[in-house]
Amino acid sequence: MRIRGTKGFLQGRGRQLALWPAVCATLLFFTGMIFSPRMAEGQAVPDDALPDARRVPVLHVLPLPYDQAAFVLADGRELTRFHFGPQLQRPFLFPLAGPGGRCLTRMGHPHDPVTHSHHNSVWMSHQNLAGEDFWKDGPGPRIRCRNILRYEDATGEGGETPAEAWLLADLEWLSSDGAPLLRELRRVAVRVAVPSESGAWLRDAGSSPYYLVLWDSEFRCPGDAAVAFNTTPFGLMAVRVAKTIGVRDGGGRILDSEGRRNEAQIFRKPARWVDYSGPIGPGEQAGAALFDHPANPGHPTPFHVRDDGWMGACLTLNGPVEVTRDKPLRLRYGLWVHGGVPAREAVERVWRPFAEEPLPGLNP
């Protein structure tokens, strides 16, 4: 009988031993698949495990009681809230939170709360639609929300990518006798920067946006007759800033895209945008810039501004705008909410991409 040499025996054994790590790894892999808590029949998942957990939206729009919807960051901070209850004269946004959390707008005029109760923070209205005054408060015409058709949370992913949450409202502009003069689809969106790897939620206004409110509306006639937004300086888009931001009460500043300052220079002059900034807290300054979009009729629009804390985009200062059955009216406005008092170039850098991006669809 031939006896195998010692050298050959050791070489064969060495090759077998060399295979053992691969064999063991394969066995462990399949054992893990078979006996994994997620895969194994009859084995419970630990109470503190969420194996299918998904990423929390960077920003979400949250339906609330009493016909309100809040735009809330994942860390719990509320940026703004849409009010649309049937008892209201018109829907509006309030509060409008600045970088430090303080509200940058107010309800009503600081020195005339009775006859200017219609100043509802951030709102859309008009003084003369087919002869009806939707601007003031009281009995008469009103803008009623029929339904909120959609709520969409932000889905932005990583780094500098913007994230946007939005809602779509179905509104009707009712005359004094309750007849619908216009139907409106309104998309209200809030756009923010997604948190970076460092965990910082939002960047301040020194180099880039804090957040942007995007307001898109499409008006249609419910019947065959044309309906006109008639000539007036009051309407459509309007903002009442906090008292301390006002030029007269707080020493704030109004600036437009042409470099003009305050009411004396800007009042009813055409511009691409107007910024209203001022003190909002101890050692803190902030503000908001109202953007007109190039697709709007009459762009650049005249702006109606006051040193007492109000600014509005005047769609029909120089003439009426008509809505027909075959020609709906499509409008877009933006409101850039920021910290500090930005220079003209800083506002322009934010307005430019707003002006160049395509208009979103308003499909339910």
Burial (0-12, 13-18, 19+ Cβ within 10 Å), 103:
middle
Q: Are residues 4 and 133 in the same domain?
A: no
Question: Is residue 224 situated within a structural domain?
Answer: yes
d(CA 195, CA 199): 6
Q: Are residues 124 and 31 in the same domain?
A: no
Question: Cα Rg for the chain, rounded, in angstroms?
Answer: 29
**Helix (H), strand (E) at residue 220:** strand 211-220
Q: Residue 317's pLDDT is what?
A: 98
Question: Is residue 201 situated within a structural domain?
Answer: yes
Number of domain units in the chain: 2
Which among 262, 340, 260 has a CA at the least distance from the CA of 300? 260
Q: Are residues 28 and 70 in the same domain?
A: no
Q: Residue 45's pLDDT is what?
A: 79
Question: Is residue 66 situated within a structural domain?
Answer: yes
SS3 192: strand
Q: Are residues 132 and 270 in the same domain?
A: yes
Q: Residue 52's pLDDT is what?
A: 87
SS3 2: coil
Q: Residue 39's pLDDT is what?
A: 44
Number of Cβ within 10 Å of residue 232's Cβ equals 18
d(CA 18, CA 103): 70
Q: Are residues 4 and 141 in the same domain?
A: no
Q: Residue 157's pLDDT is what?
A: 52
Q: Alpha helix locations (H) across 131-252?
A: 247-250
Model-level pTM? Answer: 0.84
Q: Residue 126's pLDDT is what?
A: 98
Q: Residue 196's pLDDT is what?
A: 46
Q: Are residues 12 and 114 in the same domain?
A: no
d(CA 87, CA 154): 30
Question: Is residue 361 situated within a structural domain?
Answer: no
Q: Are residues 35 and 169 in the same domain?
A: no
Q: Are residues 204 and 299 in the same domain?
A: yes
| Sequential pLDDT tens for the chain (364 residues) | 444 444 443 455 444 445 554 544 444 444 444 444 444 555 787 888 998 888 888 899 999 999 999 999 988 999 999 999 999 999 999 999 999 999 999 999 999 999 899 999 999 999 999 999 999 999 999 999 999 999 999 875 544 567 899 999 999 999 999 999 999 999 999 998 754 444 443 444 344 458 999 999 999 999 999 999 999 999 999 999 999 999 999 999 999 999 999 999 999 999 999 999 999 999 999 999 999 999 999 999 999 999 999 999 999 999 999 999 999 999 999 999 999 999 999 999 999 999 999 999 998 8
CA 353 distance to own-chain centroid:
15
Number of Cβ within 10 Å of residue 49's Cβ equals 11
Domain that holds residue 18: 1-53
Q: Residue 156's pLDDT is what?
A: 57
Q: Are residues 19 and 63 in the same domain?
A: no
Q: Residue 29's pLDDT is what?
A: 45
pLDDT, one tens digit per residue, over 148-174 is: 999 999 875 544 567 899 999 999 999
Number of Cβ within 10 Å of residue 94's Cβ equals 18
Q: Residue 289's pLDDT is what?
A: 98
Q: Are 337 and 343 in contact (CB under 8 A)?
A: no
Question: Is residue 44 situated within a structural domain?
Answer: yes
d(CA 29, CA 319): 75
Give me the residue label for tokens 């804090």.
210
Out of 33, 53, 73, a domain closes at 53
Residue 241 neighbours by CB under 8 Å, 6+ apart: 104, 105, 106, 252, 276, 278, 287, 288, 309, 310, 311
| Pairing verdict, β 68-73 and 162-174 | unpaired
d(CA 307, CA 267): 10
Q: Are residues 44 and 63 in the same domain?
A: no
Q: Residue 160's pLDDT is what?
A: 56
Q: Are 156 and 135 in contact (CB under 8 A)?
A: no
Question: Is residue 362 situated within a structural domain?
Answer: no
- Strand pairing partners for 339? 286
Residue 97 neighbours by CB under 8 Å, 6+ apart: 77, 78, 79, 80, 103, 104, 337
Q: Are 258 and 275 in contact (CB under 8 A)?
A: no
Q: Are residues 15 and 143 in the same domain?
A: no
Which among 52, 226, 82, 213 has a CA at the least distance from the CA of 143? 82
Q: Are residues 249 and 328 in the same domain?
A: yes
Question: Is residue 326 situated within a structural domain?
Answer: yes
Question: Is residue 364 situated within a structural domain?
Answer: no
Number of Cβ within 10 Å of residue 114's Cβ equals 8
CATH of the domain at 180: 2.70.98
